[in-house]
Amino acid sequence: MEYTFLDIEQLQFPEAKTILKKRGITKLNPPQTEAIRKGLLDGKRLVIASPTASGKTLIAELGAISHLKKEGGKVIYVTPLRALTTEKYSTFKEWEPLGFRVGMTSGEYDSEDNYLKNYDIIVTTYEKLDSLWRHRPGWLEEVNYFILDELHYLNDPSRGPVVESVAVRAKRRGLLALSATISNYQEISRWLHAEYVSTSWRPVKLVEGVMYPSGKSYLVTFKDGTTKRVKGDDPIEAYTLDSISRGGQVLVFRNSRRYAEGTAKSLSGKFKETQELLELSKEIEEVEDAGATERENLSLLVRRGVAYHHAGLSRGLREIIERGFKERKIKVIVATPTLAAGVNLPARTVIVGDVFRYNRKVTGFREEIPVMEYKQMSGRAGRPGFDSEGESIIVLRDKRNFEKIFEKYLTSDVEPIESKLGAENAFYSFLLGTLSADGEMTRNALRTYVEETLLSDEMIDSHFDKGVEWLKDHEFIIEEDTVKLTQFGKKVADIYVNPFTAVTVKDSLKGKAPSCDLAYLHMLAYTPDAPIVGTSNMDESLLYDVDCKMFIDEPFDELEMSLYLSAMKIAFIIHDWIEEVDEDTILSRYGIGSGDLRNMVESMDWLTYSGYMIAQVMKEETHEESLRRLNTRVKDGVKEELVELVQIPGIGRKRARQLWNEDIRSLADVVMEPEKVKRILGEKLGERTVHEAARILGKGNHGEERGYDYIP
């Protein structure tokens, strides 16, 4: 197939030419060329479906800047992940010399972010934009062009409802949607009232194959019918070594953390240490936000050019691993599939070690991963500028499923995008968000809005009236001539929690006596907005080691009991955290990673704030005060007496305790005794701490309520 490349000198867009030339771009690639042919620079609404690394971000940049030049207003670029938000923000900052200011936000759900009125291009997440609409800031009315990145997240059961909610509102204005994996792009384009650009062009050719045991070696059958044999004791190990011998880097995907870590450890024995890698391993050893065992394990692997990567690792560890791989120091990363979605890390070879995984909801049930998930992983194969082709290899343990797997993943389309608003909690939250963003309306008008979603007419018929009645029964809305939010309903919409979370909190607290911190933490961890953790290694005797009344009764149902135990484990973890138990002790005691702990702290920080807000609107004053005090402690993991000190930037739980033990117990103490503070913390940090304490006292804002930055 022939592709067209547009010389940038042909662009009627002189400002863009300047920026492109600085990047060394002289021609636009086929997807970019086709987008311009379809009217990108004329403000046409487009859906772009093209492979990973095919230049979709530049299409978005050109669309945004040309829109601002011709139409004015504001542009919002929306991503599904905070890591991508930071990445795209940095990219758009390069256009500021043209006079456009670029801003970013991904936090403070209970906030209008009025400072964003000063920016022309705003990069944010789907959840944050959804929450902003509920607050109705005036500046949001100026936004007349939305760029929806990674639109295939519509198919994600947990994130899809929010992506769809944003798309429904965004499609009323100018719109550009981007994705690497949409099979039913024509249907999605019609839904968004847009034209589509669909191309299979990618900058590095992708070679795909399936590998299985054959005699005393392994046979790879490629998509084009050619084959290749590799020798070794293990298929993943064999192909990894083969690729590296040809100058490649390798991403291996395994379906669990345990397998990822085990495979990385096994592979590391095949490589030698180098001075360059020893320096990188020392960086790993010095990371502050990770547990000692994690640092030690990864340091030993990295010095041999191998690492593992999953959500259990701290952000600091992940950043060093990613940088080491981008700099081509680390040769192999063994990761769980979350890496494929969130980080731009191309490799010569992608090895998909597992196309099966176990369904956590159905014990022992093994299922095949979606084709879309495979495409996200295989899309990382091929390093532009380094490789002439990339390889994606699926590993099978025997030949039995070869033909089925070959056909499904190498020759079939990805699953069509479908609405995920059909689940009750998602649908009810959508109704609540609509009323919060658009104000009161008749029931018929609300139904008309729901009909703008991807839901089928049959699904709407079965859900709509039931949803409205449920929200009325639980006091979120009232209906007279119009449907409108109650004070309780508006508060729940503003703090951005699921209606079922709010009902759990309301029913648990109403008319009940106050209880201990553990009871409040368990109640909040039992809500739909809380994370779920494995409890197979949990000591169930902990359930009975509680000397206060729990708000949630122990269930009889097996599934509910699993959630109950998960909530109890989280409650114990966070309780240890706020009692200043050493972090390494917590990680070891509960069998979690430092990244897991950070995620739990973020979610429980948000949920304790939400619980406090719900108790406030319920006028349950004793619960309100208990939750307020609890919330002040969760983010930093401190006892109550340290809350004031940890407001100082750079002062965490350990340094705050050092100061307290030396009788520096307030912001005023820090300011009044600068020499003592310097002696305790060291000259530089001490001086900065005194300066920051004075600044906070000067502003008079210590103890203020704050918004929350949590994406489940």
DSSP letter string, 80-146: SSHHHHHHHHHHHGGGGGGT--EEEE---SS---GGGGG-SEEEEEHHHHHHHHHH--GGGGGEEEE
Whether 544 has a pLDDT exceeding 90, the answer reads no
pLDDT tens digits for range 507-531: 999 999 999 999 999 999 999 999 9
Residue 706 has pLDDT above 60, yes or no: no
pLDDT at 705: 39
CATH architecture of 424-495: Orthogonal Bundle (1.10)
pLDDT for 289-345, tens place per residue? Answer: 999 999 999 999 999 999 999 999 999 999 999 999 999 999 999 999 888 777 788
Q: How confident is the model at residue 708 (pLDDT cuts 50, 70, 90)?
A: very low
157-179 pLDDT, tens per residue?
Answer: 889 999 999 999 999 999 999 99
**pLDDT confidence of 543, banded at 50, 70, 90?**
low
* Confidence at residue 603, expressed as pLDDT on a 0 to 100 scale: 95
Residue 712 has what pLDDT? 32
The pLDDT, as a whole number, for residue 360 is 59
Res 367: pLDDT: 87
Q: Averaged over 453-462, what is the pLDDT?
A: 96
Using pLDDT thresholds of 50, 70 and 90, give the confidence band for residue 493. very high
Query: Which pLDDT tens digit goes with each residue over 585-603?
Result: 999 999 999 999 999 999 9
CATH class for the region spanning 6-198: alpha beta
Residue 701, pLDDT score:
53
Give yes or no on whether 6-198 and 205-411 have one common fold: yes
The pLDDT score that the predictor gives to residue 263 is 97
Looking at per-residue pLDDT, the higher value among 369 and 708 belongs to: 369
CA distance 342 to 318: 12
pLDDT tens per residue across span 190-240: 999 999 999 989 999 999 999 999 988 999 999 999 999 999 999 999 999
Query: 700 is written with which tokens?
Result: 């008079």
Q: Which helix (H) or strand (E) holds 559?
A: helix 558-578
pLDDT the model gives residue 703: 44
Give me the pLDDT at residue 344, please. Answer: 81
For residues 62-87, average pLDDT: 93
CA 58 to CA 84: how far, in whole Å? 15
Q: pLDDT grade, residue 534 (50/70/90)?
A: confident
For 205-411, CATH gives 3.40.50.300
pLDDT at 359: 65
> Is 32 part of any known ligand binding site?
yes
Tell me what pLDDT residue 698 has.
87
Determine the Cα–Cα distance for residues 373 and 153; give it in Å rounded to an integer: 11
Binning pLDDT at 50, 70 and 90, where does residue 366 land? confident
Query: Residues 673-703: pLDDT tens digits?
Result: 999 999 999 999 999 999 999 999 987 655 4
Q: Out of 125-134, 243-252, 295-304, 339-348, which region has the weakest mean confidence (pLDDT)?
A: 339-348
Confidence of residue 411 (pLDDT cuts 50, 70, 90): very high
How much is the average pLDDT of 630-649?
95
Structure tokens at 633: 């402690």
pLDDT at 275 over 70: yes
CATH number for domain 639-711, candidates 1.10.3720.10, 2.40.110.10, 3.50.40.10, 1.10.150.20: 1.10.150.20
Amino acid 558: pLDDT? 81
* Mean pLDDT for the chain overall: 92
Number of other CB atoms surrounding residue 61 within 10 Å: 22
Query: How far is it, in rounded angstroms, from Cα 589 to Cα 577?
Result: 12
**What is the domain partition of the chain in residue ranges?**
6-198, 205-411, 424-495, 639-711
Token pair for 269: 């024995």
Residue 13: predicted pLDDT = 85
Residue 537 has a pLDDT of 67
Q: Is the pLDDT of residue 245 over 80?
A: yes
3-state SS, 462-477, equals HHHHHHHHHHHHCCCE
Tell whether the model's pLDDT for residue 709 goes beyond 70. no
